């Protein structure tokens, strides 16, 4: 094994470099050492392991859907995830805020339409629908 600091060859079972005294990294099972013409070469195979669940920071479709339909749950997910899943937390917070803003804008538009249409509507009278449609078109 080669020392990462001084680049001198150290015995494979060494914990510290015999030349500079630096602590050597532990040899993994995936690391292999080969000798060719007196020179030692190390090869480490690439790791094909799946990241653990704690390393995944991706808000799932269900979390985003729930954050959109129920913005307060999106805010709660933000508070729960903000420390260990920051990207997911920000995404849920953004979706919740967009949903809340769209709900407020839609409510205001419906209130305005209702107030403007009130003079044309009599309870139980649907014949004035054409007047209401013409009023909003023009």
Q: What is the tens place of the pLDDT at every residue in 61-104?
A: 888 888 889 999 999 989 998 888 888 889 999 999 999 999 99
Q: What is the pLDDT of residue 63?
A: 85
Q: Are 70 and 81 in contact (CB under 8 A)?
A: no
Q: Are 116 and 134 in contact (CB under 8 A)?
A: no
Token pair 């903000």: residue: 82
Distance CA(54)–CA(41), nearest Å, equals 35
1-5, 59-63, 85-89, 107-111: segment of lowest average pLDDT: 1-5
**pLDDT exceeds cutoff 60 at 124:** no
Length of the chain: 138
Which residue from 76, 98, 100 is spatially nearest to 88, judged by alpha carbons? 76
How many C-beta atoms lie closer than 10 Å to residue 138's C-beta? 5
Q: Are 61 and 86 in contact (CB under 8 A)?
A: no
Of 133 and 82, the one with more pLDDT:
82
For 22-31, the pLDDT digits (tens) are 778 776 544 4
Dihedral of the CA atoms 77, 79, 83, 85 (nearest 10)? 20
**pLDDT exceeds cutoff 80 at 132:** no
């Amino acid at each position: 094994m080669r020392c990462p600091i001084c680049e001198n060859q150290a015995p494979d079972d060494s914990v510290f470099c015999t030349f500079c005294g630096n602590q050597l990294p532990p040899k993994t099972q995936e690391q292999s050492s080969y000798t060719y013409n007196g020179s030692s070469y190390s090869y480490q195979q690439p790791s094909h392991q799946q990241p653990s669940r704690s390393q995944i920071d991706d808000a799932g479709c269900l979390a985003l859907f729930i954050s959109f339909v129920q913005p307060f749950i999106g805010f709660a997910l933000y508070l729960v995830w903000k420390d260990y899943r920051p990207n997911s937390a920000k995404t849920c917070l953004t979706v919740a805020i967009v949903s809340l803003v769209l709900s407020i804008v839609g409510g205001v538009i419906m209130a305005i339409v209702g107030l403007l249409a009130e003079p044309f509507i009599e309870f139980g009278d649907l014949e004035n629908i054409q007047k209401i449609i013409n009023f909003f078109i023009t």
